[in-house]
A and B are shown apart, each in its own frame.
Chain A
Amino acid sequence: MSSEQAVRGAIQTHSKRVWRFGLALSGASDIADDLLQATALRALEKHHQVTSYERLDSWLMTICRSIWLNEIRARSVRKAQALSVTPEAQLVAPGPDSETNIFAAQVFTQVMQLPEAQRETVMLVFVEGYSYREAAVLLDVPIGTIMSRLSNARQKLKTVMQHDAADTVRRSGK
């Protein structure tokens, strides 16, 4: 398989992950669309730089973030007056019952309202399953910074989750 084919394959395989990361970075689904498209084109241009097909996902994430920071962020911030994120909770897929939907929307909103640095870290570690040290390399910060961002995020997520845990137990009649 040539590096171009490998990169094309990786773009298709990881399109949802890159889109989600774009959403975490920008806080807006239309910008996530643009980021994914730009990331895919940039990755194809750079396919000859790929030496290992092992972690093309983190390579794509790095490209996506660099496009965000260097090319799109300033423009979007100007447009949206300092990234006041409007969480698009309708992106959350409908669950089996309305309580589940309300809870999922609350978690989604809470995550999207985290500061950008916490949001991108939560997305990489909690959602995409990168280890702390992998996320540290990807975001170019020390591992301790990853852990403290996650600790701060957990404190903010705690309120909505504890409330829900109590709720579910009550519903199941315990």
Chain B
Amino acid sequence: MKFSDETLLAYLEGSLDEAEARAVENAVADDSALESRLMALDPFAPVVQQVFEAVPAEAPSIDLPAPNPPQSGAGLLRLLAVAASVAVIAASATFWATRPKALGWAEQAAIYQSLYSSDTIAELDNPPQRLDAQFALAEAQLGRSLNREVLENLPGLDLKRAQVLSFKGKPLVQIVFADAQGEPFAFCVIRQGPDAPAKDVNLAVLSGLATATWARDGYGYMLLGSDGQTDLSGELSVLTDAFTG
């Protein structure tokens, strides 16, 4: 059974009836891709995470018995102990350095967006009051305006939906459009915090989609076309003017 993002959001908001909610839960039990989608859409998780990730403020102290100390004061043993601890540090460093590289928010957002097809957005017709609520929630999470009037008037694009996702506890808003051919197009904004460095526009093809990313004043922005060849320049000039900070 297929569930639209709207149905999943309604489940998360508790507005499905009992039978529909059970259907979602039963399907999730057998389908880990659906589980990931549902978790990514959960508007509660990023808020709770943000509050608790700073608790406790400092790493709590733990008393551990010392690792097996050298048995005697012999110089050679002491040297061996030093060599062993250097080896431990080297092994730990290798362990950390060879972990799989974590994907950044833009890569993750591109992977998610690349799953959208024209069919996904064909069903996304939100009445104005629903869009109002989506923008209110998204702007509250981000703590900034999304310049809705600019987004509604992007030439050739039809505004479909704004939804709140989360990346490592940071609110990430995805705004979906349909282009003139009915193909998906998206603009994402993430709140990175006041210390995040500003970045100039960078064009790249990620997960098969043409993208433009930039960052200003603690927010990251990303524009995603419908395929690897999409020309983003028109939208980009409007959006970089509108989202200067």
Whether the pair B48, A107 counts as a contact (CB closer than 8 A) is: yes
CB distance from B22 to the nearest CB of A (A): 8
Closest residue on chain B to residue A111 by CB atoms: B48
Q: Which secondary structure dominates chain A's binding surface?
A: helix
Interface set, chain B 128-175, CB cutoff 8 A to A: 136-137, 139-141, 143-145
Whether the pair B44, A154 counts as a contact (CB closer than 8 A) is: yes
CB-defined contacts of B65 to chain A, threshold 8 Å: 44
Tell yes or no: A83 within 8 A of B by CB.
Answer: no
Report how far A147 CA is from B141 CA in the complex, Å.
24
Whether the pair B26, A169 counts as a contact (CB closer than 8 A) is: no
Report how far A90 CA is from B30 CA in the complex, Å.
41
CB-defined contacts of A166 to chain B, threshold 8 Å: 136, 140
Whether the pair A16, B56 counts as a contact (CB closer than 8 A) is: yes
Whether the pair B136, A126 counts as a contact (CB closer than 8 A) is: no
Which interface class (under 10, 10 to 19, 20 to 34, 35 or more) fits A?
35 or more
Whether the pair B26, A37 counts as a contact (CB closer than 8 A) is: no
CB distance from A22 to the nearest CB of B (A): 9
Report how far A15 CA is from B62 CA in the complex, Å.
8
Report how far A123 CA is from B45 CA in the complex, Å.
10
**At the interface with chain A, which of B87-95, B101-109, B209-217, B236-244?**
B87-95
Whether the pair B39, A132 counts as a contact (CB closer than 8 A) is: yes
Report how far A142 CA is from B28 CA in the complex, Å.
12
Whether the pair B62, A172 counts as a contact (CB closer than 8 A) is: no
Interface set, chain A 1-54, CB cutoff 8 A to B: 1, 4-5, 8-9, 11-12, 15-16, 19-20, 23, 29, 32-33, 36-37, 40-41, 44
Interface set, chain A 118-136, CB cutoff 8 A to B: 122-123, 125-127, 129, 131-133
Given contacts A154-B14, A158-B14, contact A20 B88 (CB under 8 A): no
Report how far A157 CA is from B11 CA in the complex, Å.
15
Give which listed residue, B13, B25, B92, contacts A144 with CB less than 8 A: B25
Whether the pair A165, B91 counts as a contact (CB closer than 8 A) is: no
Interface set of B (CB-CB < 8 Å, partner A): 11-14, 21, 25-26, 28-29, 32, 35-36, 39, 42-45, 47-57, 59-60, 62-65, 67, 88, 91-92, 95, 136-137, 139-141, 143-145, 194
Q: Which 6 A-B pairs have the closest CB atoms?
A: A93-B54, A165-B140, A168-B140, A126-B45, A126-B48, A127-B52
> Please, could you name 30 A-B residue pairs with CB atoms under 8 Å apart, sorted by A?
A1-B88, A5-B91, A12-B62, A16-B56, A20-B55, A40-B62, A40-B64, A41-B64, A91-B55, A104-B50, A107-B47, A107-B48, A108-B55, A126-B45, A131-B32, A133-B35, A142-B29, A143-B29, A144-B29, A151-B21, A157-B44, A158-B13, A161-B47, A168-B139, A168-B140, A172-B139, A172-B143, A172-B145, A174-B139, A174-B145
